[in-house]
Chains A and B, each alone.
Chain A
Amino acid sequence: GNSVTQMEGPVTLSEEAFLTINCTYTATGYPSLFWYVQYPGEGLQLLLKATKADDKGSNKGFEATYRKETTSFHLEKGSVQVSDSAVYFCALGRGDYKLSFGAGTTVTVRA
């Protein structure tokens, strides 16, 4: 079936540290891949997406590359800020129009 597995948290970092959150997927066909972010007390919002293999999504200093050979879509940011503290969800857009979400990774950035 279609599913997403992402790195368990919580992750605690100091400001300006490098952040990586691993995400791997299992899918039939050609899914799209997304990273959504949820700030405290809010709904989810799209951070970035990639719709085909080798595409790179980027936004707000975050990047992720759709790797078909390793079935991965790891999220990276070179220098995190306190404002990046949030829960990050990897998601897979399936052929039946539904999104499959990972369990979420809580990231806390300390000043």
Chain B
Amino acid sequence: NAGVTQTPKFQVLKTGQSMTLQCAQDMNHNSMYWYRQDPGMGLRLIYYSASEGTTDKGEVPNGYNVSRLNKREFSLRLESAAPSQTSVYFCASSESASRQETQYFGPGTRLLVL
């Protein structure tokens, strides 16, 4: 099992460019999440999908959109990148949306916006 995979691993964008971060999980999990990690701030939730066909905003959704393509895949799109979106992005999944469930994380995507 690969677990949670993310592509690309690293990306450099210019301000105003767009890109999509891809995430896939092979654990048959129902719930998926996108976080960003910034120094000294822990992880902050951008969007999540409690189940296939649903998506909801997290703490910091501005400037992002998501698509739950199917049960396995959950993509994050930056329509017009800004330097403030320079961060490390993590995708995660869990069996269900429950406060007791363990979340499983991908290796991350480092994004630099110039």
> Which chain A residues have a beta carbon within 8 Å of chain B's beta carbons?
4, 31-32, 34, 36, 41-46, 49, 51, 89, 93-95, 97-99, 101-104
Contact = CB atoms under 8 A, between A and B. Distances in A.
Contacts of B31: 97
A34 B102 contact: yes
Interface residues of B, number: 25
A102 B97 CA distance: 20
Contacts of A89: 42-43
A41 B43 CA distance: 15
Give the most central of B4, B43, B101, B104: most A CB within 10 Å: B43
Interface of B: 4, 31, 40-45, 48, 50, 58, 90, 92, 97-108
A36 B37 CA distance: 14
A38 to B, nearest CB: 8
